[in-house]
Amino acid sequence: MRHSVILALVSWLVLLALPAVAQTLDIRGAIAAPGDGPAFPAGAPAVQVTLPDEWARTRPGFAGTLWYRVRFESAAALERGGLPALYIAEVCSNLEVHLNGQLVQSGGRMTEPLTDNCNRPQLVALPPALLRPGFNDLDLRVAGHELAEVGSRRRAGRLSALAIGPQSALAARHARLEALQVGAPQALGATLLLLGGFMVWLGFIQHSKGHLAWFGALSVGWALFDVRLWLRNSPLGHAATEILYCALLGLVAWAAVQFLLRHAGVRYKPVNVLLPLQCALLPLSLLLVGAQNLRTVAAVWYGILALEVVVAAAVWHRLKGGRTEQPLAVMLAATAVAGVIAFAAQWSGALPVAAQLAQLVVPILLVLTGLHLVQRQGHALQPAAQDRLLLEQRVREATAEIEHDFRQLAELRVEQVTERERKRIAADLHDDLGAKLLTIVHTSDSERISTLAREALEEMRLSVRGLTGKPVRLADALGDWRAEVVSRLAQAGIEGEWVAPEDLPQTLSARAYVQTTRILREATSNIIKHSGASLCSVTASIADGDFQLVVQDNGDGISNEIDQRLDRGHGLASMKNRAKQLQGQCLVESGTGYGTVIRLTVPLDRAIEGS
């Protein structure tokens, strides 16, 4: 009888609400009765409740399954809107929906361990075939936990207000809320997991950047809180899952404290031991006190962990609170505030919107802070990279220098060996071949053979000295030539005239020096022996990178007859030949009675001439 009265009242409420929101029926009241059976317990004492119904307020200490019944009239308007559906913004932990005694929706396991649907809005299609004209009974079987058993109020049993309307209209609301409570946290959680993992790896490979690893651990820990969004059916059972959740918070606090300390550049040995110990102690204590006291003990732990993080933050602020760390400080502070709000809101159950926002803001801030840290790390790497580049360049330079020195040394050694070898060969040639040629020079009765032997001797010197010898300064060469020519002419009673520029810096190759000496010697000999001249002038000059020597006499000139005779003695022809060998030129101008002019042109030592 009481049931009917209450239902009538509720129905009236529903009817009243119907015109308010076009096509959609908001339901803020129901009758509730505990019961484990497969259907609404008809005989059980039912009480009227307003929705949302939070068990922690309305029935403290209750855990298990609770039936809610809502009676609504299937209005024509509802059916016209298309497939009708039931929308439930929040139900914790799980529910079944029965329409007129028929099961139309099951969220998962209704016995321990319950499927966790606390964060998921529900949209249940109401099959029109099951709808009756007039009043319909909608029964919701909700299974949940008592507040004392959970670490957060949001995981305690409850049911939000309901809405019945066309599915198309409700689907948008459902999608919006699901995106906010499931999609976005999942995406952020995945990002955080990736970034955190990367930072752990970064800190691991760079031992000096340990704070990165700890921040990564903090991020990964936070991301793991969202596991329940992915994993609705915990394989471990409710109590174990709750304990693990609280233990995870211990790990996050450990990572946070270590990050702050490492970043500040301090290492406290006791902290390194105490924090892991605490992480082990936390779940152990929760296990010992039992499921009924979990929430209380967890609250104590939350306080302790928060205090630790605050102390670490204070240490960090004291050591690193400069201007350069201001962005980081702001971000960390914001993260901390958001984290505290998130936890406080979740724990207390007040301000559900703040809890939701904080839940999104914390991972965002963590991602930003992580990126900031990685970027700073990158900046710090830049000078290191530059240093390395510089070092590499130095090494390259040093290597090049060493190679250059080595090459020089090798060249020097080759030069020394060559010089020694040259001297040895020269000595051998002088002692052996030289002596024999010399014997011929001085013992032969034939002037021609004597001359040939003398030339052979000079040729030998040429091959020894001319090929490998050093270039001769032109000034020195002119000195040598002058001394020889002038003294020979003087001895023969011929007046000699010598015109040459002073202090010439140019050089002649050793070969050019020797060949020119011989050409000049031959020319002088010819003048002394054949010309009958009384005057001979030698003029040296430099023109167009060539050395020019003009030997002129006032003798008889060279008649054809004399020419032939001279050439038999390797005279003019050999002079021309020698000049040609040097890429030079030897021109002889002569006429009977006009004397002779010999013009010799020899290229200067090109390598030296340029300098």
Partner 1 sequence: MNGHGHADNIEIAHGVSPMKTILLLEDLPEIRAWLRKLVLEVFPGAQLSESARVHDAIELVKAIKFDLALIDLGLPDGSGVDVVTQLRDVQPEAQSVVVTIHDDDEHLFPALQAGAFGYILKEQPRELITEQLHRISQGEPPLSPSIARRVMAYFSVKTKPQPAANAVPIVSLTERESEVLLRVAKGYTLPEIGVQLGLSRHTIADYVKQIYRKLNVSSRAEVALEAQRMGLFG
Give the residues lining the site for partner 1 (CB under 8 A): 427, 430-431, 434-435, 437-439, 441-443, 454, 457-458, 461, 465, 475-476, 478-483, 486-491, 493-502
Give the count of beta carbons closer than 10 Å to the beta carbon of residue 295: 23
Structure-block tokens of residue 166: 């066309």
Backbone angles phi, psi at 402, to 5 degrees: -60, -45
C-beta of 538: minimal distance to partner 1 in Å?
10
CB of 569 to partner 1, least distance (A): 14
d(CA 379, CA 391) in angstroms, rounded, equals: 19
Tell me which DSSP letter residue 101 carries: T
Nearer to partner 1 by C-beta: 31 or 486? Answer: 486
Sheet bearing 84-88, strands edge to edge = 25-27, 162-166, 84-88, 122-125
Contact present, 219 and 193 (Cβ < 8 Å): yes
Question: Considering beta carbons, is residue 214 or 481 the nearer one to partner 1?
Answer: 481
Q: Judged by CB, which is closer to partner 1: 27, or 478?
A: 478
Measured from the CB atom, the residue of 205 and 490 that comes closer to partner 1 is 490
Of residues 283 and 496, the one with the C-beta less far from partner 1: 496
For residue 605, the minimal CB distance to partner 1 (Å) is 18
Ordered alpha helix ranges (H), 97-183 = 167-178
Closest CA relative to residue 611, chosen from 513, 507, 500, 466: 507
Q: Supply the minimum distance, in Å, between the C-beta of residue 502 and partner 1.
A: 6
CB nearer to partner 1: pick between 458 and 563: 458
Task: Name the residue nearer to partner 1 (CB basis): 476 or 589.
Answer: 476
Q: Name residue, tokens 């001279």.
A: 566
Please state the length of the chain: 611
User: Which is it for the CA torsion 466, 469, 473, 477, positive or negative?
Assistant: negative
Q: What is the smallest separation between the CB atom of 547 and partner 1, expressed in angstroms?
A: 15
Q: Cα(first)–Cα(last) distance of the chain, in Å?
A: 127
CB of 472 to partner 1, least distance (A): 10
Smallest distance, partner 1 to C-beta of residue 586, A: 22
Between CA 452 and CA 194 the distance in angstroms is 97
Structure-block tokens of residue 482? 């002058």
Residue with tokens 């090459």: 407
CB 468 to partner 1: min, Å: 13
- 405 vs 431, which CB is nearer to partner 1? 431
At closest approach, how far in Å is the CB of 482 from partner 1? 3
Query: Closest separation between CB of residue 559 and partner 1, Å?
Result: 26
User: Closest CB to partner 1 among 471 and 496?
Assistant: 496
Q: What is the DSSP string of 118-184?
A: TT--EEEE--GGG--SEEEEEEEEEEE--GGG-SSGGGS-EE--EEEEEHHHHHHHHHHHHIIIIIH
φ, ψ dihedrals at 547, nearest 5°: -100, 130
Is the CB of 418 or the CB of 583 nearer to partner 1?
Answer: 418
Residue 167: closest CA among 241, 107, 229, 105: 105
Nearer to partner 1 (CB atom), residue 21 or residue 435: 435
The CB-of-583 to partner 1 minimum distance in angstroms stands at 26
Assess contact for 99 and 130: CB atoms under 8 A: yes
Residue with token string 């605050």: 310
Q: Are 67 and 30 in contact (CB under 8 A)?
A: no
- What whole-number distance in Å separates Cα of residue 83 and Cα of residue 98? 16
Q: Nearer to partner 1 by C-beta: 250 or 496?
A: 496
Residue at 349: amino acid letter: G
Contact present, 64 and 36 (Cβ < 8 Å): yes
CB 558 within 8 A of CB 590: yes
Q: How far is the CB of 470 from partner 1 (least distance, A)?
A: 11
